[in-house]
Amino acid sequence: MSNVISAFQYYFGRYPENEDVISSHEQMSGGSFDNLRENFANSEEYRQNYFTAARPRNGTFFRPVKGGLKICVLGNCQGPNIAMAIASLADAPVSVSGLEIMDFSETSSEMAAIIRDSDYVVACKTYNENYKPVSPDYIRAEYGKKTFEYSPVHFTGLQPDILVLGHYGQRIRGPVGDYNSRIILSAFCRGMSAAECVAAFNADTYQRAAYFAEFGWSRDTMTQREAALDEDGLRISEWFLDEIRRTPLLYSVNHPNSRVFAHFAQLILGKIGIPVRRTPVEMIPNTLASQVVWPVAPELALANGVGYDTDLSYWCNNVMLNLDEMVWRSYKTYETLGRDFLTEAMGERTIDFG
């Protein structure tokens, strides 16, 4: 089977122009991975990159190797990071690709070719009809591939103040991107001053917003989602719900750290029968580490028996905002959108501060 599409991303950071280019490289290499990468190295495009590592398309990960099995991981932003963990932990030659299914409309033919070329597929369970061609059931029926399905991690129990408004690609954005603080938005919509908003981060507000109950709700939701997986699905909820009480596992509600991705990778490799390398999880790269890091309020940690908490600081792209700065920047952003517009967008999610 061909490594051409993965090699284009790995060496050039892009997909091949068309099927003719793929066929040409397949013929020139004669099915040899060594020949394939020599052909890439002899190209002018590779020389212009000064032989340095190319950055692949955002939302992807590719690691083609000589020999061994090929594994394709499909999902949201977690998919490429699970693929990274597999590449880091596999103690045998394994070619790995990780793709965000949100790019399907733009790269459907490339995704189909990569799936077709893989020995195993790991795909997130999705109920969105737009992603049906990359769903586990469709892949099994259309390509006949051994497919392991999983439920992407989404756990609001320790960071319940995160609020996302608007559909994908049309989000209402705050100072840290798509994530907004429900408390800050509510305070702004109710005409509270920035100082009053800062003071509202307390146990009374958390109680009014039902934040103390969020851990239990999120636990039950996670368990239910995994119960819907097929018999051979990748289930991590039992481990996750036990581990998160002792060890931080999330940068934000749907951005796990490398410890979670390593657990997924170990399950996948175990099902395939590939030995696992003793790589420290801290050494496994994670593209989500430099994005938003949301705090864990001490009151919520204590109430849920969690053995750690943070100060109320917010990180985004390696910039740190303390609570005062987060509120100030949020208010400046929301002033440009208008209180009436945001009040309508919030609807019943607006907190009553009493």
| pLDDT digit string, tens, across residues 59-70 | 899 999 988 999
Q: Residue 83 gets which letter from DSSP?
A: H
Residue 140 phi/psi, 5° resolution?
A: -65, -45
Residue 146 phi/psi, 5° resolution?
A: -70, 115
SS3 347: helix
151: which 2 tokens?
Answer: 């439920």
Percent residues over pLDDT 90 in the chain: 77
* pLDDT above 80: residue 48: no
What is the pLDDT confidence band of residue 50, given thresholds at 50, 70 and 90?
low
| pLDDT digit string, tens, across residues 257-289 | 999 999 999 999 999 999 999 999 999 999 999
Closest CA to 323 of 156, 183, 215: 183
Residue 1 confidence (pLDDT): 42
d(CA 89, CA 72): 15
pLDDT (mean) for 236-259: 97
Q: Which residues contact 304 (CB under 8 A, 6 or more apart)?
A: 157, 158, 212, 215, 245
Using an 8 Å Cβ cutoff, are 71 and 268 in contact?
yes
Beginning with the edge strand found earlier in the chain, give each strand of the sheet holding 146-150 in spatial order: 60-63, 94-100, 69-75, 120-124, 146-150
Q: Which residues contact 61 (CB under 8 A, 6 or more apart)?
A: 80, 81, 83, 84, 87, 96, 97, 98
Using an 8 Å Cβ cutoff, are 179 and 314 in contact?
no
d(CA 242, CA 227): 17
Q: Which residues contact 127 (CB under 8 A, 6 or more apart)?
A: none
Residue 305 phi/psi, 5° resolution?
A: 65, 30
Domains in the chain: boundaries: 4-154+217-286, 162-212+291-349
What is the pLDDT confidence band of residue 32, given thresholds at 50, 70 and 90?
confident
| pLDDT digit string, tens, across residues 92-117 | 999 999 999 999 988 999 999 999 99
Torsion over CA of 92, 285, 214 and 326, rounded to 10 degrees?
A: -170
DSSP track, 197-245:
HHHT-SHHHHHHTTGGGHHHHHHHHHHHHHHTS-TT-B--HHHHHHHTT
SS3 337: helix
Choose between 15 and 162: higher pLDDT. Answer: 162
Q: Which residues in 124-145 are b (16+ Cβ under 10 Å) and which e? A: bbbeeeebeebbbebbbeeeeb
The pTM for the full model equals 0.91
Backbone conformation region of residue 312, classed left if phi is above 0, alpha if psi is from -120 to 50, else beta: beta
Q: Residue 73 gets which letter from DSSP?
A: E
pLDDT (mean) for 328-345: 95
d(CA 176, CA 165): 13
Q: Any idea which fold 4-154+217-286 has?
A: Rossmann fold (3.40.50)
pLDDT (mean) for 182-197: 97
Choose between 28 and 213: higher pLDDT. Answer: 213
Burial classification of residue 279, based on how many CB atoms lie within 10 Å of its CB (0-12 exposed, 13-18 middle, 19 or more buried): middle
